[in-house]
A and B are shown apart, each in its own frame.
Chain A
């Protein structure tokens, strides 16, 4: 067991955790932040994408103890009260989801993509989402959602 402290969605948290616990398990089971999903066993699907110190990462491929002292943002931490984040709103408006399982990871990846690229072509978006797999929609509306979300994030 290791004493672990970090900031999650702006709140300091601290727990004793097993050294082999994955960060996604800590978020979901210890903190009950179940918006971050687990969609595969092979670190390929991206349903578990969160931000660690502002950089997107697959929380299923990071140990909880590696996040000691880090600033974590999950899908639960991006809305302002009842007002959805512009990227969440864009996924809603553009029908960028069907079953919704991959959506939290898509949204978190898309936000980092927009924040780190002043201009984004459709190709940039498709390549930027390589680490996120959707098995329902075929990506077309997801790309449209990210384009809309990017415009709205820049206006906000």
Chain B
């Protein structure tokens, strides 16, 4: 790892001012992607601002929404009684991320700010129509995830929490890469006020995306049979050593089918 400075922020305001004062600072949430990247010298930074003590670890029922603090670890979400009661799909999704040690450190805010194209959380945020709260504003999930490893966040902006509306029903199913456990394809299906939303991670060249044709078919008839003949455009899918675009297209349909059946 290249030399760097470390600062443990004591509040959100402290983190903001540190971020503003340094041209090349990075925010450290759980560190499950950032530290391996720094370790391999794939990234370099003058200052690491640790958000661990900034008080962003609350899980709250706000009445209409479930609000999860950005620094909630995957393990916190996996084991929260409130999450299990209000939106159980989030608990099961968090419980399937990485391995135990990753879940003990990795955070919701870190995962979505990194926007790895194979991360699980973006599928849930898109399917549930979540709102991302930052130090500056609120952003709809649709607008937040811009492209592969790219979000709508400004350089000086810090994710503070995510609010999830409660779905009528929802399920997330992924096909994990056998080695890394990242989603080769992960699909979150949610029914919200009669609307059906299908969000897919791990497959798209531009990261997470919704599948309008499958959503329309499912709104008409909510069953696995309804998506049998819906076209899945291979042109927009990732193709790499783990899976070709044709195989990913097959997995998109299969994971969607399983998610529908799990709803």
* Known contacts A18-B3, A19-B4, A41-B40: A131-B100 contact under CB 8 Å: yes
Q: Is the CB of B48 within 8 A of A19?
A: yes
Q: Mark B97-123, 1 if CB is under 8 A from A, else 0.
A: 011111011000000000000000000
| Binary interface encoding of chain A residues 103-143 relative to chain B, with 1 for a CB under 8 A from any of its CBs, else 0 | 00000010011000000000000001011100000000000
Q: Which B161-210 residues have C-beta < 8 A from chain A?
A: 179-181
Q: Which residues of A contact B8 (CB under 8 A)?
A: 65-66, 68
* Prevailing SS type, chain A contact patch: mixed
B32 within 8 A of partner (CB): yes
Q: Are B5 and A66 in contact (CB under 8 A)?
A: no
Range of interface residues on A (Cβ < 8 Å): 20 to 34
Q: Contact at B100–A61, with CB atoms within 8 Å?
A: no
Size bracket of the B interface: 20 to 34
In chain A, positions 15-49 with a C-beta closer than 8 Å to chain B are: 18-20, 22, 41-44, 46, 49
Task: Contact check, A43 vs B104: say whether CB atoms are below 8 A apart.
Answer: no
Q: Does B6 belong to the interface (CB within 8 Å)? A: yes
Q: How far, in angstroms, from A63 to B8 measured CA to CA in the complex?
A: 12
Residues of B close to A60: CB separation below 8 A: 39
CB distance from A89 to the nearest CB of B (A): 23
Within the assembled complex, what's the spacing in Å between the Cα atoms of A93 and B117?
44
Closest Cβ of chain B to A117, distance in Å, is 11
Measured between alpha carbons, how far is A21 from B222 in the docked complex, in Å? 53
Are A130 and B6 also in contact (CB < 8 A) when A43-B32, A62-B31 are? no
Asked if B75 and A20 make an inter-chain contact with CB atoms under 8 angstroms apart, the answer reads no
Chain A contacts of B101 at CB under 8 A?
Answer: 46, 49, 56-58, 61, 109, 131
B36-56 contacts to A, CB under 8 A, are 36, 38-40, 48, 50, 52
A residues with a Cβ closer than 8 A to B are 2, 18-20, 22, 41-44, 46, 49, 52, 55-58, 60-63, 65-66, 68, 109, 112-113, 128, 130-132
Beyond the given pairs A20-B6, A43-B36, A130-B99, 8 more chain A to chain B contacts, judged by CB atoms under 8 angstroms and listed by A's residue number, are A18-B3, A20-B3, A20-B4, A22-B35, A43-B39, A61-B36, A66-B8, A131-B100
